[in-house]
Every structure is written in structure tokens, then in C-alpha cells.
Amino acid sequence: MIIWVMKKNKVLAIDPGYERIGIAVIEKKDSGKEELLFSECFKTTTDTSFAIRLKKIGQEVAQVIEKYKPEVLAIEKLYLSVNQKTAMGVAEARGVIIYSASLYGLDIFEYTPPEIKVAVTGYGKADKKMVMSMVPRLIQIKKETASDDELDAIAIGLTFLACQK
């Protein structure tokens, strides 16, 4: 039996957090060139309860999915952090993001920071500065300035597209 797997060409990529969330939508065109359709750093405020912050994150993810119709979610895997309180909050935000994407039927792909670094720079121990400098070389970013969170999300999306066969 032969099973045909269709390539996924439009990816919602997210650098998870609960205060700042990097979001990007990238599409691989028929020419093989990637195009950045959307990117932002979505922010929640500290004067809002954590539950409401998570709700807003889920709503933002849903709005982006409805507008851009991505086929997959690519998200960074959580690495253990020195600050457990922060790590727990990011883990909960990741859960909301993954849940929201799954409601829309998106396939979920997770990448570790070293996997993202290899895909973007060719070196799994690259520092943040190296990754940030490579992203604009790999894809055209039409904004004058993009936040580190946006660039991280774009790097995650590029990682997914690089892993497609």
C-alpha cells in the first residue's frame, strides 16, 4: 500500500511565552522560496491575571489561524529553566497554544533550541546573536524592526520548512 503525504507549505511558528509571544506565518511558494506572511510579538500585561493572559494568548493564536489558514504549528520545545516559576508559566502558555492549534486541526511539530540553531546557522551551539543575524539573511522581513521574539518565531518556522522533504 502506498501512502501519499502532502507537503505542508504554510506554517504558524510560535516562540512560546506568557508575557511576550513571538508569532510568525511563513509560506513556502511553488518556486521553493519562503515568504513571511505575518509576524508579531504579542504581549500580555502583568496587571492582568494569569488565567486572562492565557485566554488572550489562545484568542490571538485563533485569530492568526483564522486569518492565515496555516496547515501546521511549529513551536519551540521547552528547555528546563533556572526560574521554575517562569518555566511553569511558559509550559502552561505552550499548552494553550498547542490546544488552540489542535482545535483547528493543525499538525504540531516541536523543535529544541539546538535543532533550531542547526537549521538556521548550521551550528547547534550558536548563540542568540548569531541566530538573530541569520534569520533576515534567510527570509525577507519587510518590517524595519522585528523583535527578538518575532525573529525566534521566524527561525522556528524556517526550521520546520527546512525539515520538509
- In the three-class reduction of DSSP (H, G, I as helix; E, B as strand; rest coil), residue 164 is classed as coil
Of the candidates 60, 149, 150, 152, the residue annotated as catalytic is 149
Q: Contacts from 48-55 at CB under 8 Å and sequence distance 24+?
A: 50/18, 50/89, 50/92, 53/18, 53/19, 53/93, 54/18, 54/92, 54/93, 54/96
Of the candidates 34, 40, 60, 76, the residue annotated as catalytic is 76
Of the candidates 15, 40, 60, 152, the residue annotated as catalytic is 15
**What pLDDT does residue 151 have?**
95
Residues in the chain, pLDDT under 70: 1-6, 80-83, 165
Single pTM value for the model:
0.92
DSSP strand pairing (20-28 vs 107-111): unpaired
Separation CA 91–CA 55 (nearest Å): 14
* Cell numbers describing residue 4: 501519499
Q: Are 120 and 135 in contact (CB under 8 A)?
A: yes
Q: Match domain 12-111 to its CATH number in 3.40.50.300, 3.90.220.20, 3.30.420.10, 3.30.420.40.
A: 3.30.420.10
**What pLDDT does residue 4 have?**
46
Separation CA 140–CA 163 (nearest Å): 20
The C-alpha angle 90, 97, 3, rounded to 5 degrees, equals 125
Instruction: Assess whether 76 carries a catalytic annotation.
Output: yes
**What pLDDT does residue 80 have?**
63
**What pLDDT does residue 19 have?**
94
How do residues 14-39 score in pLDDT, each as one tens digit?
999 999 999 999 999 888 889 999 99
Instruction: Assess whether 40 carries a catalytic annotation.
Output: no
Ordered by start, the domain boundaries in the chain are 12-111, 113-146
Instruction: Assess whether 92 carries a catalytic annotation.
Output: no
